[in-house]
Amino acid sequence: MKLNIDALEKTTYNITKATGDDFVIKSRSFLLTDNHGKELLEEGLQLFDLTANNGDIHQFAAGYIPSHWHKELEIFILLEGYIQIGIGDSTYKLQAGDGCFINTEVIHSFTADIPSSCLYRSFVFSPDIIGGTPGSIFDTVYVRPLLENGASFLKFQEGTGDRIYFEQFERAFIACEGEEYGYEFQVREALSNILLYVKSKSATVTSRTIPSIQETRLKEMLIWIDNNLENNITVSEIASVTNICTRECQRIFNQYLHYSPIEYVQRKRIFNAVKQLSDTDKSITDIALNCGFSNPSYFSKQFREFMGSTPSEYRTAVKENRYFRTGTNLFQRSRAPAPFQT
């Protein structure tokens, strides 16, 4: 029997396309996390476990992508603007033309440093795309050593020796834009070249260390907070999650997130409210209660302080598809931030 190559190609391509939306490249304005605090990228079967993002940090509430982590690798390029990236208890600055690599399970956040556009592109992808079958030479010689001993974070700059990073990134992105049959092979090859370069550059910097007890505790506390935002939350309750005193709890939050536990809780509640205002028709009173605000008036006051508008104004702007931006940073600090690293 003669094999119908055209039919096979069409079937294979449609299966691959069915793993996500109609397009590989996304433009997101929210982060979804599971009950373990890890980022959820897509639902369902992942035949090609990769998400390409193309957007503006300002698409996220108040120009801030809150602290999160995931089992996937992430590579990132800033096309326009200035941003801060929080990596563990360190903070780095990126300007237009800079890129970075973020290893698996690393707590990280992104903050727009200016009120104007902060355009970016990124890939978040499973190491298995490169490593293949566990125990293979690709896995044991190249990928696994990077995951276990490579740098947690690397910064790349145009006009330096990092040219291969930017060239291969663009090659992968163009392939995703076209989504021609077999584009996955082109993407995998480009990402492989990037990881080879990352691995070689990691050899010249300090290797990642086993997550500290404080970082592990922070992840546990953040998970607990996310699961209890609708309830009244005290610092004592947060601290009890990891059996530490309130003073140590305050110290960990200040060290890694640069604000207090209660400040974090309030801002996470606002983030949840932003999503509900955008995605549901619930009343503002119901949203306030769902997000842990017992007083709708206080909720509106807090929302306006952080978002620069009332909840109803924000909802109207979203429905009218107006580009909504605030000059107020949702995680703005009244004290000086941690020293930046460049």
- DSSP β-ladder status, 82-87 and 90-95: antiparallel
Give the rounded percent of residues in the chain with a pLDDT score beyond 90: 60
- The reported pLDDT for the residue numbered 100 is 97
Q: What is the CATH number of the domain that holds 274?
A: 1.10.10.60
Give the rounded percent of residues in the chain with a pLDDT score beyond 70: 78
Using the 3D structure, point to which of 147, 167, 202 is the last residue of a domain: 202
82 occurs within a structural domain = yes
How many domains, in total, are found in the chain?
A: 2
pLDDT at 235 over 60: yes
88 occurs within a structural domain = yes
Predicted confidence (pLDDT) per residue in 142-173, tens digit: 999 999 888 999 999 988 889 999 999 999 99
Q: Are residues 179 and 303 in the same domain?
A: no
Q: Which residue has the tokens 């020293």?
A: 339
Q: Are residues 145 and 174 in the same domain?
A: yes
Predicted confidence (pLDDT) per residue in 110-154, tens digit: 999 999 999 999 999 999 999 999 999 999 999 999 998 889 999
209 occurs within a structural domain = no
Closest CA to 54 of 77, 31, 26, 32: 26
- Whether the CB-CB separation of 81 and 113 falls below 8 Å is answered with yes
Q: Are residues 20 and 150 in the same domain?
A: yes
Using the 3D structure, point to which of 202, 231, 266 is the last residue of a domain: 202
- Identify the three-state secondary structure at position 121: strand
Give the count of beta carbons closer than 10 Å to the beta carbon of residue 143: 23
Q: Are residues 131 and 188 in the same domain?
A: yes
Q: Are residues 38 and 174 in the same domain?
A: yes
Which sign, positive or negative, has the C-alpha torsion 186, 191, 192, 193?
positive
Q: Are residues 25 and 120 in the same domain?
A: yes
Q: Are residues 195 and 224 in the same domain?
A: no
Q: Are residues 189 and 245 in the same domain?
A: no
Using the 3D structure, point to which of 168, 202, 236 is the last residue of a domain: 202
Query: Which domain covers residue 303, as residue numbers?
Result: 216-341
> What is the pLDDT averaged over residues 298-303?
93
Closest CA to 78 of 60, 61, 56: 56
Average pLDDT taken over every residue of the chain: 83
Give CA separation, 5 vs 8, 9, 13, 18, 181, in Å: 5, 6, 12, 20, 13
Give CA separation, 335 vs 259, 294, 297, in Å: 9, 28, 27
Distance CA 125, CA 135 (A): 19
- DSSP β-ladder status, 32-33 and 39-40: antiparallel
